[in-house]
């Protein structure tokens, strides 16, 4: 495995297994610098969202990186307020304008807004058929949301990006997604930084001469989920990508998975108020 390793989505598109997340990265210099550092460090996948309000900085960094557009994998997301058929199409145009791109690799519904996500999905299917996005998917969908969406979808979601880390391993949902050929992508893989002091993971990290962050990200790869850590520090961005020169044993993987407490850092997708 290496930084360019991909997983094949249901439609054959190759999605990098490790990407760079930019939630809470400020637009302007912070976004431009951190995305450029990530691309310099070899990341080829960037995960942004309309709601992060940094698509312009991400787009600028991509442009200035000197890396060919087709060699990158860019994800953005549709925000809740824009759900609905026409409003989704308009919001997508606005994201492309800010990113200064003419397509995105992956477009995701950010949250399952009840009563709206099916109309939104019809717009996603149109964008996909019009070849303005290479793949479409969702975030924060429980199994019941996925089932409801797939009841009358023409195209099934290719990705479900969900909160996933050692204290929230999401095994039942991962199983359902695997059975339905939906790739699972872990958001807040480091528990938004809260897991970095975990003593059990620290012991494993010490045994490998690696950091806790590196061990968690390696665990993501070994359990088969795509992962998108965020940092605004160059040395951490480099460190988080330096996870291809060691391997966790099966026991270590099981030990980390055993830390599950079904404990979220973010809201439950059945109960969010934004």
- Is 103 catalytic? The answer is no
Distance between CA 237 and CA 19 in Å, rounded?
10
Closer CB to ligand NAP, 96 or 168, in the complex: 168
CA 168 to chain centroid: 16
Interface residue with ligand NAP, options 35, 159, 190, 226 (CB under 6 A): 190
Which of 188, 204, 210, 215 is the binder for ligand NAP (CB under 6 A)? 188
259 forms part of the interface with ligand NAP (CB under 6 A): no
For ligand NAP, the closer CB: 41 or 154:
41
Among 137, 138, 239, 243, binds ligand NAP (CB under 6 A): 239
Q: Measured from the CB atom, is 129 or 144 closer to ligand NAP?
A: 144
User: Contact letters (x/-) for ligand NAP, 25-54, by CB under 6 A?
Assistant: ----------------------x-------
- For residue 43, CA distances in Å to 88, 95, 198, 228, 274 come to 29, 21, 26, 10, 31
* 83 touches ligand NAP (CB under 6 A): no
Instruction: State the residues that interact with ligand NAP by CB under 6 A.
Output: 21-23, 47, 110, 139-140, 161, 187-193, 196, 211, 213, 228-233, 236, 239-240, 266
Catalytic residues: 52
């Amino acid at each position: 495995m290496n930084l360019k390793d991909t997983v094949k989505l249901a439609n054959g598109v190759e999605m990098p297994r490790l990407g760079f997340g930019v939630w809470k990265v400020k637009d302007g210099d912070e976004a431009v610098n951190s995305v450029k550092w990530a691309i310099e460090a070899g990341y080829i996948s960037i995960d942004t969202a309309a709601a992060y309000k940094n698509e312009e900085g991400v787009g600028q960094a991509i442009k200035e990186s000197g890396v060919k557009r087709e060699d990158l994998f860019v994800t953005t997301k549709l925000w809740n307020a824009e759900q609905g058929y026409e409003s989704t199409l308009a919001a997508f145009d606005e994201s492309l304008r800010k990113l200064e791109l003419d397509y995105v690799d992956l477009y995701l519904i950010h949250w399952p807004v009840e009563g709206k996500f099916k109309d939104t999905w019809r717009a996603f299917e149109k964008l996909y058929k019009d070849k303005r996005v290479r793949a479409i998917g969702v975030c924060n969908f429980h199994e019941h949301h996925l089932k409801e969406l797939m009841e009358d979808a023409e195209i099934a979601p290719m990705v479900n990006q969900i909160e996933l880390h050692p204290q929230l391993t999401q095994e039942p949902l991962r199983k359902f997604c695997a059975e339905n050929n939906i790739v699972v992508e872990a958001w807040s893989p480091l528990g938004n930084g809260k897991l970095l002091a975990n003593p059990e993971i620290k012991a494993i990290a010490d045994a490998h001469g690696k950091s806790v962050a590196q061990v968690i990200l390696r665990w993501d790869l070994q359990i088969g989920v795509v992962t998108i850590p965020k940092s605004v520090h160059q040395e951490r961005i480099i460190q988080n990508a330096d996870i291809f020169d060691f391997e966790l044993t099966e026991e270590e993987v099981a030990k980390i998975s055993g830390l599950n407490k079904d404990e979220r850092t973010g809201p439950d997708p059945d109960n969010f108020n934004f």
